Amino acid sequence: MVLLQKRTHTLRRSQNVRENPEIPQTVTPYLFYEDVAGALIWLARTFGLVEREIETMKIEEGKIVHTAMLIGNGSIMMGCPGVDYKNPKKLGQATQNLYVYVEDVDRHFKNAKTEGATILSEPEDTFYGDRRYGVEDVEGHNWYFAEKVR
């Protein structure tokens, strides 16, 4: 029988919070979109993400093929992998979930609903201390927005 030792780690603040946005975060989600430019506009208007224009790459025709967006102290990258790509909406199933903390989840929810986002779940308090809601973006990616309430 093998006994596993439980390890405990003390994390320094600099490991948990991005103090300098120029230093990449440890894990950065990369989402594929058929229409990156349209997703940029929709994500900014609906979820409050902000484009990092310095990251935006276009091909000769002016089509955006890669960019990054900021939210809180985190970010996502996004791009279009090509004409054969099918987004989750076309596949008919979720391919991932993103879990994002925001300052006021109820206000965030109201804005997403007003902008016409597909609501997966209304704001609710969870047993693990978060108040959260679920939403599907313009191309079918699932997002969960939450705030710590206890």
At 126-137, the pLDDT tens digits run 999 999 999 999
**Tell me, what's the pLDDT at 27?**
87
For residue 43, the enclosing domain spans 26-85+94-148
Q: Is residue 43 part of a domain?
A: yes
Question: Which pLDDT value is given to residue 14?
Answer: 32
Residue 132, domain member (yes or no): yes
The tally of domains found in the chain comes to 1
User: How far is 108 from 19, CA to CA, in rounded Å?
Assistant: 24
Mean pLDDT calculated for residue range 9-16: 35
In a domain, 135, yes or no: yes
The rounded percent of the chain whose pLDDT value lies above 70 is: 84
Share of residues in the chain with pLDDT > 90 (%): 67
For residue 114, the model assigns a pLDDT of 96
Residue at 6 is within a domain = no
Name the pairing type of β-strands 74-79 and 30-32: parallel
Residue 11 lies in a domain: no
- Full-prediction pTM beyond 0.85? no
